[in-house]
Amino acid sequence: MSIETPDWTRSDVLSVSRLVSLLQDVVEENFVDVLVSGEVVNFATPASGHYYFALKDEGAQLRAVMFRVQNRLLPFLPENGMNVVCRGRLSVYTRRGELQMLVDHLEPLGVGSQQIALEQLKKRLASEGLFAGERKRPLPAFPRTIGVVTSGTGAAIHDILNVLRRRGAGLRVLLRPVRVQGDGAALEIAEGIADLNRQGEADVLIVGRGGGSMEDLWAFNEEPVARAIFASGIPVISAVGHEVDVTIADLVADLRAPTPSAAAELVVKERRELEGHVDHLVLRLSGQMKARLTLLRERVEGLFRRLRAPVGDLLRQEQRVEELSRRAKLAIRVRLEASASRLALFAGRLEALSPLRTLSRGYAIVTREEESTPLRETARLACGDRLAIRFARGEARAVVEEIIAAPAKGKTLD
């Protein structure tokens, strides 16, 4: 059996690198600007900031990359499952010999990129608690200074001032003029809110503008404005002139007003309502006080009439009190004299029974030195005992030298 020699020479063989390079040249020269639609899958954002993902449909899948230089201009973040149209060029990644698309621009299919960006921002801010109802503060009941962040030449500031002049006389208004639409407007609005907070003079802030299209109102959907309202130490009313669409500023603010005029009315509403309530209370109090004084006057007059009649009874009662007082004093004096006599009698009897009186008649009390009980007989003594002898005046010490027995009962000493 013989083996046939292949009909090629070494110069006909391509290396992998050479083949991939040739494919790269073909691809990159012929697919310089293409539009590709598909579903985003395997989306990843590493630390480099580049977007790596793949585009797929029912029959195929294509790797794609959008470098940081291009994706930083996107108003939204692509997500898995999103249907998009990508514009860019095709290339071959030589290390792995893979076909990939270098995306310069990306647009969602169906919903616009701005709307997607808005929904993504709403979701992120809500997760951070910027829309939470429990953090919203009530408006001050008696504001003295109103801070306004809006255009200095627009209709909004004129509407606000007209309402405040008509319904809130004496209020002070601090205007921080800003651009309310166009590039950079959101940053100006945010800075205006921060400036009024730094000044610390305003009691409440009105932030907004007159009506317009969604594009005109877009500055109030941007993150810097939302962050500034959330960070404000002063209660904020969002007064963006629209009825249907709700901006992110409306969701973050402590209170939303449909128009700048309505915002001004809300500022002075509590004050006017409270003033009306106070006036009502004053009228009620005045009426009740008049009725009460009339009733008290009638009662005093009745008491006066009743007091004039029993004057004679009061005089008789006074005489009776004086008589009872005299009799009580006499009875007390007699009782005290009788008690004094009895006390003197008892004192005399006590004096007669006193041991000291017995001692004064020449008797003495004899005890052992170490004892306090008086000795009544010699039977308890022994020669050598030391005795203490108490007289009516003074004491003496003695030693027993001899004991003479007591005579028997019935006998007497000679």
Interval 33-65: pLDDT, tens: 888 888 888 889 888 889 999 998 888 889 999
pLDDT of residue 414: 45
pTM for this entry: 0.50
Question: Where do the domains of the chain lie?
Answer: 16-110, 134-272, 354-414
Cβ within 8 Å of residue 377, ≥6 positions away: 406
On average, the pLDDT of the chain sits at 82
In CATH, 16-110 is 1.20.1250.20: no
Q: Confidence class of residue 253 from pLDDT cuts 50, 70 and 90? A: very high
Q: Confidence class of residue 409 from pLDDT cuts 50, 70 and 90? A: low
Which comes out higher in pLDDT, residue 260 or 27?
260
Average pLDDT over residues 223-248: 86
Tell me what percent of the residues of the chain surpass a pLDDT of 90. Answer: 15
pLDDT of residue 120: 82
Average pLDDT over residues 188-193: 94
CATH says 134-272 is which class? alpha beta
Q: Give every strand in the sheet of 395-399, ordered side by side.
A: 365-368, 386-390, 395-399
pLDDT at 392 over 90: no
Measure Cα distances from 121 to 95, 115, 116, 128, 217 in Å.
38, 10, 9, 11, 16
pLDDT tens-digit map of 151-171: 988 888 888 888 888 876 678
Task: Report the distance separating Cα 86 and Cα 104, nearest Å.
Answer: 8
3-class state of residue 358 by DSSP: helix
Q: Please give the helix or strand (H or E) that residue 237 lies within, else none.
A: strand 236-240
pLDDT of residue 232: 92
